[in-house]
Amino acid sequence: MDWIVILQAGVASGTVLLFATLGEIFAERSGVLNLGVEGMMLIGAMSAFSVAVKTGDPWMGVLVAMLAAGLLSQIHAFITVTLQADQVVSGLALTFLGTGLSLVLGEGLSKAGTVALLPAFSIPLLSRIPLLGPVFFTDQNVMVYLGYLLTPMAWYYINYTRPGMHLRAVGEHPAAADTLGINVYRLRYFYVFVGGMLAGLAGATISLAISPGWFSELTTAGQGWIAVGLVIFAQWDPVRGAIGSYVFGALRRLILDIQGPQTLLWFANPFYYNPYWGFFLQMLPYAFTVIVLVLGSREAVRKRLGAPAALGLPYIRGERGL
Amino acid sequence: MPDFALPFRIKAEPRLDTPPVWYTWFVSFLAIAVALFLGGIVIALAGGDPIRSYIHIGKASFGSWGVFSDTMVKAIPLILVGLACTVAFRMKLWNIGAEGQFFLGAFGASAVVLSGILPEDASRWVYIPLMMAAGIVAGALWGFIPGYLKAKYNVNEIISTLMLNYIAIAWNNFFIFGVWSEGGFQMSKTFPRNAWLPRLADYAKEFPALRGLTTHLGLAFGLVAVVVVWYVLYRSRWGYEIRLIGDNPQAARYAGVNIRRNTVLVMMFSGALAGLAGMSEISGVVHRLQGAISPGYGFTGIIVAWLAKLNPFAVVLVSIFFGALILAGREIQPSGVPKMIQGIILVSLIASDYLLRYRIRIIRTTQEA
């Protein structure tokens, strides 16, 4: 096994999780838990692929995917922010809706054939750095590089800019933010929309870059849910979210590749000789998500870290909040 | 609010009283009607004929006793998983893992037959109770894991139950593809007749009217479970604790209710019901362990519980409705229609909750000036 290749592919596959995780961090930082990530990713993946097939332009596909998923997210925003309904159930409903809609609208798309994909290229100087170069900067998709840019931008935006401070205020203490003249409702709508667009971008990244095509629900295979878990592990911090996403991406790749070779570190590879054991490998990302949550919650208790204080609570003007 | 030049304005006031029962039902029906309308628009956009699709769903699921019996077969697992979700949701415990618990229940029941602990010709009175017990235990175990993690480490149960769904499916696949694979096919061998739940059609000799009716004993499991869940939730001390935690965990804690213990127990109870659903499906319908044993029953159960407003008796009615949707939906093109309609129904149902919490008033504004 070529470890460099696995890590390289892992970074690519982690980029999908990264976009979805960043999006959910924005939504949750504003106080809105959106469990519809999986559904929005499916809508994104389906519409990106569909538009790319029709127009021949993958960038058009990316744009439409982000708008479509963003639009879907506004249903959640309307139900939870304006109608003040339970965010958990509404998010679940959004996933059902997104899954069903993408199946109906994506009917027959799996046989659409090949399509122009998003370009991959190497970064001239950076790709020559030993070890890091081949893993992060060689033959990666443009989306992977976009991920490198978005992570520090998101981190800086949330922690060090004025709108970022408003975002945190709305998620931590909406009533206080309201008295300062910040429009809580509008900001929550906006960041749910940002979350939706990033989930759509994640979907488009799957169907037009990482594993091209449309394979009904199997396109995402629960990655949207893993992203929701990663947000908790990341403690709502984009940089930790990125690290978690890349580790998970590498794990996903490793599972695919580990069953290939006959020997593994000089021993006979049990997964090669017993292919059914591969099902236990398939469990790993999901089991790992649960383990990560256990570790994350213990750390959170120790360091007294926590979710945005108003996460999951509707803000009703004029009522005593928190 | 922006200024619209309308002769009236709509004002929403918080409702202080609980709305009457008929109004609750009316709002639910309204939500379903709106959902079907919106679903129709999407079907039309996707190139289908919505009216014909809906008529087809109606005919293919309620058109005769035969198809109604098939609808009931689909409703059985929905009743059980719907109850599983009802129990957990009543405590505001988001068990999204009924699907995984269903698969584990099916696995447990199959293990009784396929592991060879019973002689092939063992009596029905041995097989079926043992399979039920194994399904219930396996489902409860699968519910115990997220319950324990929540109680001990405060792990978000939505994520953990969902992840366990994927793990359960891979676990079953390991046995279907590997251990119990029959001649290289992705399924186990067929169970012996005594491991099948009796069907109405089995009594066609005595009662000719029952010929061809596929409804099986699982329906009785479901109906008994309805009464059990109702009794537990609304007539027992434990149920009082569950409801108290669900409504006000703070008050429950002050009252000395052990929230952690109840978290684990309720998740196990919920998992047990979903596991029984898996057993009933495997023993009553499929008669072997194979991959595609569920068109997402565990997830539909969530919608069932919500639409039934966590009322165990209403779960039965709602399950029949969704059973019809799943049964007839199999033949409708595009194939994602039932899933999409379920999604739209849940969305419009949640939105409609607003009408229960707020009184909408239309106020004339023309006279004001």
What's the confidence (pLDDT) of residue A256? 80
Interface of A with B in 32-51 (CB under 8 A): 35, 39
Which residues on B lie below 8 Å from A86 (Cβ)? 350
Cross-strand bridge partners of residue A267: A264
| Contact check, Cβ <8 Å, A103/B336 | yes
- Count of structural domains within chain A: 1
| Contact check, Cβ <8 Å, B153/A35 | no
Residue type, A216: S
> Can you state the percent helix, strand and coil of chain A, rounding each to 5?
70, 0, 25
What's the confidence (pLDDT) of residue A205? 96
Which residues on A lie below 8 Å from B15 (Cβ)? none
| Contact check, Cβ <8 Å, B341/A75 | no
- How confident is the model over A250-265, as a mean pLDDT? 80
The DSSP output letter for A127 is G
Mutate: best of A96, A274, A276, partner B, most B CBs <10 A? A96
Q: What are phi and psi of A317, to 5 degrees?
A: -65, 135
Mutate: best of B43, B152, B163, B325, partner A, most A CBs <10 A? B163
Residue type, B22: W
**How close A127 gets to chain B, by Cα (Å)?**
36
| Contact check, Cβ <8 Å, A83/B354 | yes
| Contact check, Cβ <8 Å, B156/A229 | yes
- How many other C-beta atoms are found inside a 10 Å radius of the C-beta of residue B20? 9
| Contact check, Cβ <8 Å, B163/A289 | yes
What's the confidence (pLDDT) of residue B88? 96
Between the ranges A1-10, A196-205, B58-67, where is the mean pLDDT highest?
A: A196-205
Strands A263-264 and A267-268: antiparallel
| Contact check, Cβ <8 Å, B347/A105 | no
The CATH number covering residue A239 comes to 1.10.3470
Mutate: best of A97, A236, A317, partner B, most B CBs <10 A? A97
Q: Which domain holds residue A295?
A: 3-303
Q: Tell me, yes or no, if A85 comes closer than 8 A to chain B by beta carbon.
A: yes
Q: Tell me, yes or no, if A231 comes closer than 8 A to chain B by beta carbon.
A: no
Q: Search chain B and give the residue with CA nearest A217.
A: B336
Strands B8-14 and B358-364: antiparallel
Mutate: best of B93, B167, B180, B333, partner A, most A CBs <10 A? B167
| Contact check, Cβ <8 Å, B334/A98 | no
CB pairs under 8 A between A and B: 154
Angle (nearest 5°) at CA A289 between A285 and A294: 145
The reply to whether A297 falls in a domain is yes
What's the confidence (pLDDT) of residue A14? 95
Q: Tell me, yes or no, if A222 comes closer than 8 A to chain B by beta carbon.
A: yes
- How many other C-beta atoms are found inside a 10 Å radius of the C-beta of residue A21? 33
User: pLDDT by residue (tens digit) across B239-278?
Assistant: 999 999 999 999 999 999 999 999 999 999 999 999 999 9
Residue type, B52: R
The reply to whether A321 falls in a domain is no
What's the confidence (pLDDT) of residue A316? 84
- How confident is the model over A162-185, as a mean pLDDT? 93
> Does the model's ipTM exceed the 0.90 cut?
no
* Closest CB from A75, A107, A276 relative to B177: A276
A197/A44 Cα distance (integer angstroms): 8
Mutate: best of A24, A286, A299, A305, partner B, most B CBs <10 A? A286
Half-sphere exposure of B260 (CA within 13 A, CB side): 7
Angle (nearest 5°) at CA A73 between A67 and A77: 135
| Contact check, Cβ <8 Å, A290/B96 | no
Give this prediction's pTM: 0.90
| Contact check, Cβ <8 Å, A89/B350 | yes
**3-class SS of residue B134:** helix
| Contact check, Cβ <8 Å, A100/B343 | yes
Query: Which tokens hold the place of B345?
Result: 């129904």
- Residue A43: which of A67, A69, A77 has the closest Cα? A69
Q: Tell me, yes or no, if A59 comes closer than 8 A to chain B by beta carbon.
A: no
What's the confidence (pLDDT) of residue B369? 44
For A267-283, give the DSSP string: EE-HHHH-GGGHHHHHH
B322/B303 Cα distance (integer angstroms): 9
* Closest CB from B154, B334, B350 relative to A104: B334
**How close B305 gets to chain A, by Cα (Å)?**
11
Interface of A with B in 182-211 (CB under 8 A): none
A96/B302 Cα distance (integer angstroms): 11
Q: Given CA atoms B160, B163, B164, B167 in this order, what sign does their dihedral have? A: negative
- How confident is the model over A287-302, as a mean pLDDT? 82
| Contact check, Cβ <8 Å, A232/B302 | no
- How confident is the model over A161-186, as a mean pLDDT? 93
**How close A172 gets to chain B, by Cα (Å)?**
20
B187/B182 Cα distance (integer angstroms): 6
B87/B230 Cα distance (integer angstroms): 9
The reply to whether A161 falls in a domain is yes
B277/B80 Cα distance (integer angstroms): 5
What's the confidence (pLDDT) of residue B267? 97
| Contact check, Cβ <8 Å, B153/A83 | no
**Where do runs of H (alpha helix) occur along chain B?**
21-45, 50-62, 65-90, 98-114, 124-153, 157-173, 218-235, 237-247, 249-254, 259-281, 297-307, 312-329, 337-357
B221/B80 Cα distance (integer angstroms): 8
The reply to whether A245 falls in a domain is yes
Find the helix or strand (DSSP H, E) in which A30 lies.
Answer: none
The reply to whether A56 falls in a domain is yes
A126/B75 Cα distance (integer angstroms): 59
Positions of chain B with pLDDT lower than 50, given as ranges: 1, 368-369
> Cis peptide leading into B334, omega within 30 of 0?
yes
| Contact check, Cβ <8 Å, B335/A107 | yes
Q: Tell me, yes or no, if A291 comes closer than 8 A to chain B by beta carbon.
A: no
| Contact check, Cβ <8 Å, B347/A93 | yes
**How close B162 gets to chain A, by Cα (Å)?**
8
- Residue A154: which of A126, A210, A195 has the closest Cα? A195
